[in-house]
């Protein structure tokens, strides 16, 4: 058994892991460091109960039987894609989907430690010289209202506590959005990865398709890797028309597609694939937790399929039965000539959430996923590692090793 599943980082972005795959990183050339170097400096000032859990869990100041989580995340650079739709069509409706993105990015992280999200607030920063504030805020308010009502109807009540809107034209080129979620978990039910055993299996939940909580087909892209995706897919026509969407130091937008370019393999336009809302796994995972013991959960956001390296101690993760990557990932790889090793580290590659469970629990997990119309399958297993955590990915695209 892997004792004291204390890894070296957590879902808040704190990362002491050093990977062995830094050659030829296209993402880094666009100004994005997937390793988040330097963020570990904050680890020494976080008083965590379980260092290495997916999200930092702190002691409740009034109730020692509970842990609290205060989690913050945004939609990455997906707002730029929504901004382009707005500029091209004049319709602010394209902003509303970002509300689901920022809620999903937060609630799906806190459920990875078994916590119940209770309240949220938002933060919106914008440049009022390039977009109309009233239209932006109105569309986002509609989006938040829709998503919160949907969650409420299925028993996941999340209180909206307001937030902050900042007009920062000297800092923000277009706009940015994030949200903060407050959550609690009984200490005895906290999921920390400490119970992972050799032979436990990894169940992957698909990020693409159409779940019972979605009104249209989802590309599966979620919110990570959007910078790389838009620069390799979208035409240079866009920064020529709207120079505010690109940093002058970056050579980007080298693609051959427009937002309304329909691609048969995608079954949608490139623009629709880029703004597909991040899937909310919260109610599905809550039902799984009521039925089976879950040893660990991993929300495959920043870090893609290597995110599991941050959970547990001396665990060798072996993913050798992964599903075929959704078409959007294959298109990005082909158009950008991105190495497959980097693709697995940047993108979720069609697996948005992972659950580590005992073999006997597989059928029950699959049954719950079927109820929510979310594709799920065994994608690998856990073994003992002689050192730090490691990951082996075996696929038709190649075999890749990552170590922490």
Predicted confidence (pLDDT) per residue in 299-355, tens digit: 999 999 999 999 988 899 999 999 999 999 999 999 999 999 999 999 999 999 999
pLDDT band at 5 (very low <50, low <70, confident <90, very high): very low
Radius of gyration over every alpha carbon of the chain, rounded to an integer in angstroms: 20
> Above pLDDT 90, what percent of the chain?
81
Q: What mean pLDDT comes out for the span 55-60?
A: 94
Is the domain covering 26-403 a CATH 1.10.760.10 domain?
no
Residue 200 contacts residue 302 (beta carbons within 8 Å): no
Q: What mean pLDDT comes out for the span 205-224?
A: 96
Please give the pLDDT value at position 32: 62
Q: What mean pLDDT comes out for the span 126-155?
A: 96
Task: Please determine, for residue 184, whether its predicted confidence score (pLDDT) is greater than 60.
Answer: yes
Tokens 């930092």 belong to 56
Provide the Cα torsion 248, 252, 256, 261; round to 10°: -80
Higher per-residue pLDDT: 404 or 80: 80
Residue 400 contacts residue 3 (beta carbons within 8 Å): no
Residue 34 phi/psi, 5° resolution?
-65, -20
Q: Report domain extents, the chain.
A: 26-403
Please give the pLDDT value at position 36: 60
């Amino acid at each position: 058994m892997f004792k004291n599943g204390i890894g070296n980082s957590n879902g808040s972005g704190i990362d002491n892991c050093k990977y062995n795959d830094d050659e030829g990183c296209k993402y880094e050339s666009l100004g994005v460091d997937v390793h988040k170097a330097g963020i570990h400096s904050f680890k020494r000032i976080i008083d965590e109960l379980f260092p290495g859990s997916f999200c930092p869990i702190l002691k409740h100041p009034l109730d020692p039987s509970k842990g609290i989580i205060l989690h913050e995340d945004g939609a990455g650079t997906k707002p730029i894609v929504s901004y382009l739709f707005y500029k091209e069509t004049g319709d602010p409706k394209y902003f509303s989907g970002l509300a689901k993105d920022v809620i999903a990015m937060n609630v799906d992280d806190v459920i990875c430690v078994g916590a119940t999200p209770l309240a949220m607030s938002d933060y919106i920063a914008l440049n009022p010289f390039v977009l109309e504030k009233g239209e932006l805020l109105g569309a986002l308010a509609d989006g938040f209202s829709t998503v919160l009502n949907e969650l409420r109807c299925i028993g996941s009540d999340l209180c909206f506590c307001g937030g902050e809107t900042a007009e920062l034209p000297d800092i923000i080129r277009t706009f940015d959005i994030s949200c903060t979620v407050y959550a609690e978990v009984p200490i005895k039910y906290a999921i920390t990865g400490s119970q992972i055993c050799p032979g436990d299996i990894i169940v992957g939940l698909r990020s693409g398709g159409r779940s019972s909580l979605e009104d249209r087909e989802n590309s599966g892209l979620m919110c990570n890797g959007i910078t790389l995706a838009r620069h390799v897919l979208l035409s240079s026509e866009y920064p020529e028309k709207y120079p505010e969407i690109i940093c002058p130091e970056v050579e980007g937008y080298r693609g051959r597609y427009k937002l309304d370019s329909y691609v048969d393999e995608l079954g949608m336009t490139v623009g629709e694939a880029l703004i597909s809302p991040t899937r909310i796994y919260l109610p599905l995972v809550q039902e799984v937790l009521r039925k089976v013991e879950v040893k660990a959960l991993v929300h495959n956001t920043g870090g893609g399929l290597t995110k599991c390296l941050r959970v547990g101690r001396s665990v060798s993760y072996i993913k050798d039965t992964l599903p075929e990557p959704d078409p959007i990932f294959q298109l990005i790889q082909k158009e950008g000539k991105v190495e497959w090793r980097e693709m697995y580290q940047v993108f979720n590659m069609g697996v948005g959430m992972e659950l580590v469970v005992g073999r006997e629990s597989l059928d029950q997990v699959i049954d719950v996923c079927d109820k929510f119309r979310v594709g799920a399958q065994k994608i690998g297993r856990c073994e003992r590692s002689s050192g730090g955590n490691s990951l082996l990915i075996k696929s038709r695209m190649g075999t890749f090793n990552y170590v922490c």
